[in-house]
Chains A and B, each alone.
Chain A
Amino acid sequence: MTPLLVLPIVIPLLTAAVTLLAHGSPRTQRTVPVAGALGLLVAGVLLLWTVERQGILVLQLGNWPAPFGITLVADLFSALMVAVTSLIGAAVAVYSLVAIDETRERFGYHPLLHALLASVCGAFLTGDLFNLYVWFEVMLMASFVLLALGGGRPQIEGAMKYVTLNLVASAFFLAAVGILYGVAGSLNMADLAVKLENGSAPGVTTVVAMLFLVAFGIKAGVFPLFFWLPASYHTPPVVVSALFAGLLTKVGVYALIRVFTLLFVHDVGYTHTLILVIAGLTMITGVLGAVSQNDFRRILSFHIVSQIGYMVMGLGLFTRLALAGSVFYIVHHIIVKTNLFLVSGVVDRLRGTLQLSSLGGLYESRPLLAGLFLVPALSLAGLPPFSGFFAKLALIHAGFEAEQYLIVGVALAVGLLTLVSMMKIWAEAFWKPLPPDAPETPVQGGLSLMVGPIAVLATVTVLIGLGAGPLFEISMRAADQLMDREGYIRAVLGDGS
């Protein structure tokens, strides 16, 4: 039981170290990352399975008792996130074998990829606020280099914007941690939850909560803090975009959900209503941005923003069903969004451009790829029987139950606009005939290694859609655990407190 909690962090770190040491051997540099990613997948699924059967797992690192040492905690929400991260990690590791050029490989693409996976898993598993900050920084460092690696001017420019805004977010996060320590005198999240509940300064606590909202909001890309995202996500190699799109912003959303269910629930009427308003505005601005774009990857980037709105909406409604909807939505979104970016990578490889105006004819020449695009695209828009439908259904149901009709209307309208822009990609890139002036690029080999992960992720999307029951039941139980703060606190601090 104990090693399971460390494995999702240790496996990718070890993989990164070995890959780094095997600097001179390209073959080792290619086999070890795939093996490591598959190992992580096994560990992630095992962790989810164990947490699902045994409840919240807790590990006190170095055997220091809870509020003093660093604690690793895996409740169902964390375990789900780790499992889905490991799935994405495996898909991306295989896809990278053909999608990443030799120069980037030589400059350490594979170790960075695994450092990123380790830090994302670490952020999901930690039960300590400062430790969360450290994992965020590890994640930022890895993502900075991945984003800038081997690039020309657009990539460097995108990276500069990304780096600046994320560092500002880190500064806010650090300041918030500091003030919170001054107020409550602890950094362990369970301990903080107890101390804030009995705290005497609700005003200061709300201020700190807002600081966390800004810090995590920048990372998650919510309105009005998302501008770094569409300015940078379309510049690096597609597979890096796919990884970022799937995982990074979701770590921000995870952190938001964690602190606003565990720590800051003293003034729900103020904080969570604000979050709900932000969620609505995020959906609208994201989808409007997407509709106005004409580049495959830029459309997808703006859709990340609008989809973040849905996840945050569940947190804003703050009921059991709404949180379950959020959890379900994050799981569905990570898979679908990564997959869409991976499809755009194949399109880029086939045609050499992602401008919709010079694309076309892909349905005729590559019907399988077209089908593999449609599955995640329709799922993203929320059409049955794919996973997105059930995710949206739960959120909208929760919205009606909470009598928040405005946000429900926004969510439905944004779903429709999502469908519009997905159909735009479909019509332009796949359905219309190839324009005569389109640049002709020879098809390079190795496409099967790119299409393979896409097919696997698309299958998972369909499976989640067809068998939504089990995953939704797990999401409900994860939401139960999120609402039941006492359970989390007892698991971390022991029965004595």
Chain B
Amino acid sequence: MELLLAVVVGGLYAGGIYLMLRRSIVKIIFGLALLGHAANLLIFTSAGLTRGRAPLIPVSGSVAGGTLADPLPQAVILTAIVISFGVVAFALVLFRRGWQAAETDDPDVLRITET
């Protein structure tokens, strides 16, 4: 399972970087989104894949028994997903405004802030 996820993460990174290197501002956003997903899956994989129950303590006892899944990476990933959702939404609006202002999808034309 780790191997499969490692390949998926690597593929997502490769796809994301490839898209960002294309000459299109739309593809930059897709690339950014893929990088975010890749990072989230990377956390999920590297924190260790355990087949276990949710770490809930039953009402009757004081200790949760059995194999438990680590809740922390899931909390981290959930937070990261929310953040990247907001950020990508903002980037979409910004890039749309950029497209309206410059009337081009080609990042090579967007040079008026360079020297």
Contact = CB atoms under 8 A, between A and B. Distances in A.
Nearest to A160: B98
Interface string B48-74: 100000000000000000000000110
A178 B80 CA distance: 11
Contacts of B83: 134, 137
> A-side binding surface: helix, strand, loop or mixed?
helix
Contacts of A153: 101-102, 112
Interface string A168-187: 10110011011101110001
Contacts of B97: 148, 156
Contacts of B86: 141
A161 B115 CA distance: 14
Among A140, A145, A160, A231, the one with the most B-chain Cβ atoms within 10 Å of its Cβ is A160
Interface residues of B, number: 37
B110 A154 contact: no
A178 B47 contact: yes
Contacts of A160: 25, 94-95, 98, 110
A163 interface: yes
Given A152-B101, A171-B32, A231-B113, A141 B90 contact: yes
A160 B79 CA distance: 24
A114 interface: no
A170 to B, nearest CB: 8
Among A137, A144, A167, A231, the one with the most B-chain Cβ atoms within 10 Å of its Cβ is A167
A298 interface: yes
Contacts of A167: 32, 35, 87, 91
Interface in A144-160: 144-145, 148, 152-154, 156-160
A181 B113 contact: no
A493 B61 CA distance: 28
B91 to A, nearest CB: 6
A183 B72 CA distance: 14
A227 B32 CA distance: 18
Contacts of B8: none
B112 A154 contact: yes
A187 to B, nearest CB: 7
B114 interface: yes
B87 A140 contact: yes
Contacts of B46: 178-179, 181-183
Contacts of A148: 94, 97
A234 B43 contact: no
Contacts of B94: 144, 148, 156, 159-160, 163
B14 interface: no
Among B46, B76, B91, B113, the one with the most A-chain Cβ atoms within 10 Å of its Cβ is B113
A298 B115 contact: yes
Contacts of B28: 164
Given A177-B43, A178-B73, A156 B35 contact: no
Contacts of A163: 90-91, 94
B3 to A, nearest CB: 15
Contacts of A161: 110, 113
Contacts of A157: 98, 101-102, 110, 112-113
Contacts of A298: 115
B106 to A, nearest CB: 12
A183 to B, nearest CB: 8
A41 B25 CA distance: 41
B39 interface: yes
B98 A156 contact: yes
A225 to B, nearest CB: 15
B26 to A, nearest CB: 12
Contact of A182 (B35, B47, B98, B114): B47
B39 A164 contact: no
A140 B20 CA distance: 20
A39 to B, nearest CB: 28
A330 B20 CA distance: 34
A394 B86 CA distance: 43
A368 B73 CA distance: 57
B42 A179 contact: yes
A339 interface: no
Interface string A126-140: 000010011001001
The 10 closest A-B pairs by CB, nearest first: A182-B46, A178-B43, A171-B35, A153-B101, A174-B39, A175-B39, A158-B113, A137-B83, A156-B98, A178-B42
Interface of B: 20, 25, 28, 32, 35-36, 38-40, 42-48, 72-73, 76, 79-80, 83, 86-87, 90-91, 94-95, 97-98, 101-102, 110, 112-115
Given A157-B98, A171-B36, 17 more contacts: A130-B79, A137-B87, A141-B90, A153-B102, A154-B112, A159-B94, A160-B110, A163-B90, A175-B43, A177-B76, A178-B43, A179-B46, A181-B43, A181-B72, A182-B47, A183-B46, A232-B113
27 contacts: A133-B80, A140-B87, A141-B86, A156-B98, A159-B94, A160-B98, A163-B94, A164-B28, A167-B91, A168-B35, A171-B35, A171-B36, A175-B38, A175-B43, A177-B76, A178-B42, A178-B43, A178-B73, A179-B42, A181-B43, A181-B46, A181-B72, A183-B46, A187-B72, A187-B76, A235-B113, A298-B115
